[in-house]
Structure 1
Amino acid sequence: MKFSPKKIKELGNFLKNSYVPNNIPGFSVLVNQDSKEIYYSESGLIDVNRKRKINRDSIFRIYSMTKPITSISIMMLLEQGLININDDVEKFIPEWENLSVYQSGSFENLITEPPKRKMKVKDLLMHRSGLTYDFEETSFVQKIYLKEEIKIARSKEKLSADQYIKKLADIPLAFSPGEHFNYSISTDILGFIIERITGKSLEDYFKEKIFDPLGMKDTFFQIPENKISRLANCYIYDQTNDRYIVEDDFEKSSYIEKPSCYSGGGGLLSTIDDYMKFCELLQNKGTLNDVNIIGSRTASFMMSNHLEKDIDLYDIAKGKWGTNIGKGVGFSLGGSIVIDPIKNMSLRSKDEFSWGGAASTLFWVDPREKISVVFMTQMLGNPLSQNLREDLRTLVYQALI
């Protein structure tokens, strides 16, 4: 199927009229099909007070859209024989040889037990490790993360990767590896493993192996001084007063400083065109413009559903993925996979590979229709984030004829 030029224009018009400026200050959206640009639209601001307009080269915090880049890096190491997804994590992090699992109790009296099995690299790739996030209110372990300041992406606590690993060795898992899906710092740990295997910083590894070969010149952990003027402000929604406020101002942004450790789970900045290059790499199964990053079989393996037969995220996930949005959705080695669009009650294609970022950003790669989409904005805690993402997909697919 191909896009109707008339119908696809409804995408930008709808988003502008429905979400800007009441819910988000601005957005940009890019749609490709068959590796060709079909549609681009931008509207609104990246800085409300200074009236800076959103542009094609605006730089955004992509947060968890960092994760698939880390996953593909693990696949590259797999191809070199340096890691196997069934390896025990303690092979690379011996400090975690004696992990425990939370059972009950409070800070003063934690009751734990040994895990039913060892944590595997695959568990980290699939968020089935037993780790959590400090904002995922799915276990008492989340409260321990808050108390111990386990917040790797842009943390105010300036800890190194090794220091985080040491602290986590003493914090129980929320469940035994493999038992559930729970969104977590698992991908950050994969980033630390990449650094240990390669002897390079995650920043240098990404740049050498992915960003430079693909021409992703505006994707980095720390923003260069000559590009700060292009950085969007990041906003956070104040639900008490039903308005949004500045969370990270571009002139004083934490991204101006070098991070104490590199977050493979949420640390990158990027532009809409740079991230589309990564999406097209995925769409073309590991090769872009004659530049091969991973083999086609490896790319297909990574972007396949790895959940057990007849299981979706709704069945096994803690948190929001255990609600209706997880119905008909599986999980790969780095992002969600649509396994049943009807059960998901959406126009999405079967086998769609996707993930989003905390600031309401989103991408998806649809191998059936050869469609790649990147959506950028900067709104944390957005109460309408899920509505926005559903509308975005609907407006893209209604334009197919």
Structure 2
Amino acid sequence: MGDGGFSAARVRRLRGALAGHVDSGAVPGLVALIDRRGEVHAEALGARSQGGPPIGQDTIFRIASLSKPITAVAALILVEECRLRLDEPVDRLLPELADRRVLRRPDGPVDDTVPAGRPITVRDLLTFRMGFGILMQPPGSWPIQRAADELALGQGMPHPALPPEPDEWIRRLGSLPLIHQPGERWLYHTGSDVLGVLIARAAGQPFEDFLRERIFEPLGMADTGFSVDEEQLHRLATSYWTPDPASDTLQVYDEADGGEWSRPPAFPSGGGGLVSTADDLLAFGRMLRGLGRYDGGRLLSRPTVETMVTDQLTDGQKALSVISPGFFESHGWGFGVAVTTRRTTPVEPVGCYGWDGGLGTTWRVDPREELVTVLLTQRAFTSPVPPPVCQDFWTATYQAIDD
């Protein structure tokens, strides 16, 4: 047992549990990292593509919604610099979102609206209470879904080649009504994409440049960005999905060479556009575990990080919000992260926070156990509930704690 309080014998179970998912073909490959008090264990198993070269710890993955916590940190940097204010309306920098109209019924015609009761605030974007987001309905079921799809706003699986550049994207979003009143309930995803546009305007530079200069370079996240340079494409895993829910047959979602992440996108999505590595996400997690500190400095203050990872939703808002069955019975939402509010399993203590990426990734920070966990696969989730490989990863990690 090292300084992290892990049992060596029990850590070996982690490899066995994960290897089973690779050997069965459930995932072509994966990289897992666990870090407790600086004791790190890493596993790299399987291949970067079916029948391809082996995965390494430096393999690059599309992290999808793991972009959201990073975007939230970027916004909070600007809040600390007084260039943004949590409860300020976004109208000053995003006039496209001023004077909102709201659907009378979420499933009703897009022209049947009422005035918004108040403006959208920065806090609304961070907490996904802006009144617009991905609906947990079959795609295209309601008129507002079809209208958003026609405008190529990227309200589904990540497709960097689809949305237009930021100014046009926010103009198109502003042409649609909100689905619910600002502050009324939690709606997934879109707040992070709006934050990316807001951050760029507040900082006076492209969103991707701000992330690189203010987060990635200080933390040494050299492989994190919105695309992969040509000379590094050999490290990018092929992405797979199962478009038919009744089938386990994997199909290519995005190739490495010539795929959508092989070139910079017009719209850098703060909600789901980043690629990264396990080591980079570990560095990001360590900074938050350290309450804003990292080797060489401080990214955020302790009070800001503590606020970020505190549940911001009321019981009434949770009762109106949906992502997966029972989720809000034991979880809340902070700024860009889910927060565990009631312990129902051994693997998510109260105060644990993090999120998942729908293209096959998960990341958690557990302050009580001083633990950061990262699991990266290249198989997309088939539902909002994380798949067995994620569940076994968390179980194998927590059972290895021996103090």
In structure 1, what residue type is equivalent to 2:17?
A: F
| Residue 232 (structure 2) pairs with residue 235 (structure 1) | no
Query: Aligned equivalents of 1:55 and 1:376: distance in 2?
Result: 11
The yes-or-no answer on 1:176 pairing with 2:178 is no
Contact map agreement 1:312 1:329 (CA 8 A) in 2: no
1:22 paired to 2:25: yes
Deviation of the 1:144 alpha carbon: 2.0
**Equivalent pair of 1:202/1:262 in contact (CA under 8 Å):** yes
Contact 2:347 2:395 in 1 (8 A): yes
Match of 1:316 in 2: 320
2:276 to 270, 273, 276: 270
* TM-score normalised per structure 1: 0.92
Q: Deviations over 1:357-399 (max 9, x none)?
A: 1112000000001000010011124357343333222221111
CA positional deviation for 1:108 = 6.8
Structure 2: distance between partners of 1:210 and 1:250 = 25
Per-residue CA distance 1:275-309 (angstroms, 9 max, x = gap):
1000101110111113211111211121112122x
Alignment-derived partner of residue 341 in structure 1: 343
Q: Is the 8 A contact 1:20 1:26 kept in 2?
A: no
The within-5 A match list for 1:129-278 is: 129-133=130-134, 137=138, 140-151=143-154, 153-238=158-243, 239-278=245-284
Q: Which moved more, 1:266-275 or 1:143-152?
A: 143-152
- Note if 1:128 corresponds to 2:136: no
CA separation in 1, counterparts of 2:204 and 2:68? Answer: 20
Check conservation: 1:134, 1:151, Cα contact below 8 A. no
- The number of aligned residues is 393
Distance in 1 of aligned mates of 2:317 and 2:42: 33
Q: Which residue of 1 aligns with 2:298?
A: 292
C-alpha distance 146-196 of structure 1, shift in aligned 2 (>3 A): same
The separation in 1 between residues aligned to 2:10 and 2:42, in whole angstroms, is 13
Amino acid in the other structure paired with 2:276: S
Q: Is 1:365 paired with 2:365? A: yes
Residues in 1 aligned to 2:299 and 2:23: alpha-carbon distance in whole angstroms: 38
**Structure 1 residues 91, 139: CA separation in 2 closer, same or farther (over 3 Å shift)?**
farther
Q: Post-superposition shift, 1:148?
A: 2.2
Contact 1:66 1:264 in 2 (8 A): yes
Residues 141-172 of structure 1 show CA distances to partners (whole Å, capped at 9, x for unaligned) of 22321232211753433511111111111211
Partners in 2 of 1:378 and 1:185 — Cα distance? 23
C-alpha distance in 1 between matches for 2:162 and 2:190: 16
Percent of matched pairs sharing the same residue: 27
Residue 36 of structure 1: CA displacement?
Answer: 3.0
Q: RMSD across aligned C-alpha pairs, in angstroms?
A: 2.2
Relative to structure 1, is the Cα distance of residues 353 and 328 closer, same or farther in structure 2, using a 3 angstrom cutoff? same
Relative to structure 1, the CA distance from residue 139 to residue 279 in structure 2 (aligned partners, 3 Å threshold; closer, same or farther) is: farther
CA contact (8 A) 1:103 1:113 kept: yes
CA distance in 2, matches of 1:265, 1:12: 31
| Residues 285 and 365 in structure 2, CA contact (< 8 A), matched pair in contact too | yes
Decide whether the 8 Å contact of 1:30 with 1:40 is kept in 2. Answer: yes
- CA 1:346/1:326 → structure 2, altered by over 3 Å: closer, same or farther? farther
**Does residue 3 of the first structure (1) align with residue 9 of the second (2)?**
no
Query: Is 1:305 the equivalent of 2:283?
Result: no
Q: Following the alignment from structure 1 to structure 2, what is the Cα–Cα distance between the partners of residues 193 and 149?
A: 19
Paired residue for 2:90?
89
Q: 1:14 to 1:108 in 2, by over 3 A?
A: closer
Deviation at 1:217, TM superposition (A): 1.0
Q: Distance in 2 between matches of 1:115 and 1:201?
A: 30
SS of alignment partner, residue 171 of structure 1:
coil
Judging changes above 3 Å, is the alpha-carbon distance between structure 1 residues 143 and 333 closer, same or farther for their aligned structure 2 residues?
A: same
